[in-house]
Amino acid sequence: MLYAVARISDLLASGRTFSFEFFPPKNEAGWLSLGRAISELEPLAPDFISVTYGAGGGTRTKTADLVSWVRRQTAITPMAHLTCQGHTRADVISMLTDYKAEGIENILALGGDPPKEGYGHAPSDYVYSLDLVEEVREFGDFAIGVAAHPELHPRSPDRSSDRAHLAAKLAAADFAITQFFFDVEHYLAMIDDLEKLGVSKPVLPGLMPIGNLGQVSRMAHMSGAEVPRWVVERMERAGDDLDEAQRIGVDIASELGARLLELGAPGLHIYTPNRSWA
Ligand code: FAD
């Protein structure tokens, strides 16, 4: 039996959402452990699960496999990420056709990052995520999300162009999900900027429960997010105790999430390293 799935835009219109993000595992052991994590999290009744996509199409079939698995094996609504990088229009139409046939209702339309040097560069018919949002909209019948960067996208030359492009894509989409951040002021300033530009669609804050300071600092560097000194100091108190580090990381994310909900955030999106502790 297939469970009913929802459009995330409809869920957000009727209340707050609570969601998790996963990436497609690389091997059999990874699939087993992800299956366990999802079955441990399913009783929490998340509103949706989103599945990342390797820019350039590296995980194309794996993303589709995981989205279909969630659709067929759980009662949770899935969302597939899709990137501009490395895709022709024909590729995108073929993926959207497959997703539609599979009963998938939600797409996160992203720019994606250029492939690392030496990995080749497949041609793209899309440059910016707005091009992809427009394609998915024209195809029809999907709720569409986009990425937001509270601390600005690392390739943005300045704040005003970053916010103007964000406002334009969000106006064409249904909702946004943010890159992770630790300071609530970054989120509030972004919402304020968007309102001044006349866009008030829901922006879900992305929370990253830290388990390993080194890994998060590397990811923060790549995404343009700051890891504040107070976060580093709290994490350092765990020393070499990995369980304690995860506990502190969850506390930091929980405090941030509670504050964001108090301030009126439309929900919370939690980045998991494919593990249920997060
Ligand atoms: P865009 O919206 O295209 O923006 C990229 C840059 O171009 C920005 O600086 C923007 O200001 C600028 N820009 C936009 N439009 C114009 C224009 N018309 N003219 C000039 N400049 C413009 N990456 C993956 O590869 N796979 C994933 O699954 C994935 N999931 C993600 C999920 C979330 C919630 C987030 C926040 C990010 C995710 N990313 C993922 C990372 C994302 O792909 C990268 O941050 C990427 O570099 C930019 O994506 P974007 O959608 O913000 O791009």
Give tens-digit pLDDT for 46-69: 999 999 998 655 667 899 999 999
pTM of the model: 0.96
Per the listing, tokens 């299956």 go with 35
| 223-269 residue pLDDT tens | 888 899 999 999 999 999 999 999 999 999 999 999 999 999 999 99
Per the listing, tokens 């504040």 go with 228
Return d(Cα 98, Cα 84) in angstroms, integer.
Answer: 17
Give the pLDDT band (50/70/90) at residue 120. low
User: How many Å lie between the centroid of ligand 1 and the Cα of residue 184?
Assistant: 21
pLDDT for 218: 85
Task: State the average pLDDT over residues 209-218.
Answer: 86
Task: State the average pLDDT over residues 26-44.
Answer: 93
User: How many Å lie between the centroid of ligand 1 and the Cα of residue 13?
Assistant: 25
pLDDT for 213: 84
Q: Which of 32-41, 48-57, 120-129, 193-202 has the highest mean pLDDT?
A: 193-202
Ligand 1, atom 38, lies closest to the CA of: 147
Q: Is the CB of 206 under 6 A from ligand 1?
A: yes
262 part of the active site: no
Q: Is the CB of 7 under 6 A from ligand 1?
A: no
pLDDT for 96: 97
SS (H, E, C) the chain: CCCCCCCHHHHHHHCCEEEEEECCCCCHHHHHHHHHHHHHHHHHCCCEEEECCCHHHCCHHHHHHHHHHHHHHCCCEEEEEEECCCCCHHHHHHHHHHHHHCCCCEEEEECCCCCCCCCCCCCCCCCCHHHHHHHHHHHCCCEEEEEECCCCCCCCCCHHHHHHHHHHHHHHCCEEEEEECCCHHHHHHHHHHHHHCCCCCCEEEEECCCCCHHHHHHHHHHHCCCCCHHHHHHHHCCCCCHHHHHHHHHHHHHHHHHHHHHCCCCEEEEECCCCCCC
Q: Is the CB of 165 under 6 A from ligand 1?
A: yes
| 163-208 residue pLDDT tens | 999 999 999 999 999 999 999 999 999 999 999 999 999 999 999 9
User: Does pLDDT of 121 surpass 80?
Assistant: no
